[in-house]
Structure 1
Amino acid sequence: MGLWSIRRWTRARRKATDRPPVPPLTTHQLWMVSLSAPVSRDRGASRTTLYPFTRADDDGARRWLAEQWEITSRDGLADRLDELARSGYRARAQRLLGVSPLAWDAALYVDISRRGFAAGMITEGEAWTALKNIVPAVVSAYASWQEYADDYLLGRKVWKDGLDGTPDAPAPQTTADAHLRALLDPANRDSPWNLAPWDTISHPDRAR
């Protein structure tokens, strides 16, 4: 199985009422989930659990995947994740700017994986496998959440510029900037980046 591939993941069937109580994440798990924190701006988003919402909303996850990414099946999920892993928006950034902002694609990859879990397209174990697979590339590319945030904003700008003049206008750049400042604020006790500092992933995993 390739580094990013989910082609051999077993078929998942799950309902919202079947979801067991959510156990606390380990330090490594929280760090991996935190890779998607820049795109988790919604009021109902959870930034400290694998499940992406504070309340059960499996149908909402399915709708979002279909409307935003045209993902309606496990194969569609696999195709989209493979695309983000292999080239994503950083391929366009490389052509236009000569840089390759992995953080933007990594944040989207983790976000989509979490929503795929919520939608019942993959199991909890499969979702963690997907997140673990991105760790080596991200750790080798960045040395801090600040570096990750800076590259994320660069990737978002390339994506946003590509949408200018279309009906799908994204949130203003100032909104993304403010969200990232809050995540990086050392006084923000709710920030997952403060709960799981960058070097967390380089130390042995432990319960929180």
Structure 2
Amino acid sequence: MGLWSSAGRWRRPRAARRYPVPLTAHQLWMVSLSAPVSRDRSASRTTLYPFTRIDDEAARRWLADQWDIASRDALVGRLDELSRSGYRARAYRLTGVSPLAWDAALYVDISRRGFACGLLSEAEAWTALKNIVPAVAGTYGSWREYADHYLLGRKVWRGDLRATQATQGSQGSQGSPDGGFPAPQALADAHLRSLLDPANRSSPWNLAPWDAIRVPDRAR
């Protein structure tokens, strides 16, 4: 079944064929806000569409399973919540720091998946991404600062998840500190290091430097 499923994914058309126009520098910068979340091999980090190959159903399942989003109203409500307070409100109470980057990454990721499954039009998805730009660009001065706050927000989220599991009596896999978690912390750390590595030519953060959003837009 696994091999058949994998083969099915490879038969899907590439997202770049459906959306062939390359992103501008500003568009790539906005999409790149979700790069910390886009870790798996099927993810696209250089298109508005969240996957390298067309898989609208995967986006629909993910929104339903991870966020309980099955309608346009639910998606818009979640985006509004993330833009206003999100996880950073709780993080501030715990740490004295408000990690906007964590909420921004989730906001852009959800917007892209909402576009993929038809809950947002392409124009609406770009509008949603533009709405988060002033807050993010005004808070951080580099992708490294953004990455640091993303990790802080993730640690608060993991702490909440761990507390929930403890309450429910979950021990994780063989007592591992990362057992039962969506992604090990070490994996998230390594992914961010790769994004920040100046030698990584495929990193969207190198393709769209932080200051790109502060200058007039241009074709890439």
TM-score (norm 1): 0.89
Quick one: distance in 1 between partners of 2:145 and 2:73?
33
State the AA in 1 paired with 2:209: P
Partner of 1:206: 218
Amino acid at match of 1:29: Q
Partner of 1:172: 184
> Any conservation in 2 of the 1:160–1:170 contact (CA below 8 Å)?
no
Residue identity in the other structure for 1:57: D
Shift of 1:172: 1.5
Question: What does the per-residue CA deviation read over 1:55-103, in whole Å, with 9 as the maximum and x for residues that have no partner?
Answer: 0000000000000000000000011111111111101101111110000
> Any conservation in 2 of the 1:93–1:99 contact (CA below 8 Å)?
yes
* Larger Rg, first or second structure (1 or 2): 2
User: Sequence identity, in percent?
Assistant: 76
Q: Could you list the structure 1 runs, at least 4 aligned residues long, displaced by more than 4 angstroms after superposition.
A: none
1:141 partnered with 2:139: yes
Q: Give 1:169 deviation, angstroms.
A: 2.0
Which of these residues, 78, 81, 99, is aligned with residue 80 of structure 1? 78
Give the Cα–Cα distance (whole angstroms) in 1 for the partners of residues 203 and 209 of structure 2: 10
RMSD over equivalenced CA pairs, Å: 1.5
Structure 2 stretches lacking a partner, 5+ long = 1-12, 171-179
Equivalent residue, structure 2, for 1:130: 128
Match of 1:5 in 2: none
Q: Distance in 1 between matches of 2:104 and 2:74?
A: 18
Taking a change above 3 Å as real, the CA distance of residues 21 and 78 of structure 1, as seen in their structure-2 partners, is closer
For structure 1, list consecutive stretches of 5 or more residues without a partner in the other structure. 1-15
Structure richer in helix, relative to its length: 2
1:21 Cα deviation after fit = 3.5
Distance 2:92 2:21 in 1: 40
Contact 1:88–1:105, Cα closer than 8 Å, also in 2: yes
TM-score (norm 2): 0.84
1:11-42: CA deviation from partner (whole Å, max 9, x where unpaired): xxxxx9xx843310000000000000000001
Partner Cα distance (1:179, 1:196) in 2:
17
CA contact (8 A) 1:39 1:108 kept: yes
In 2, Cα distance between equivalents of 1:70 and 1:23 = 32
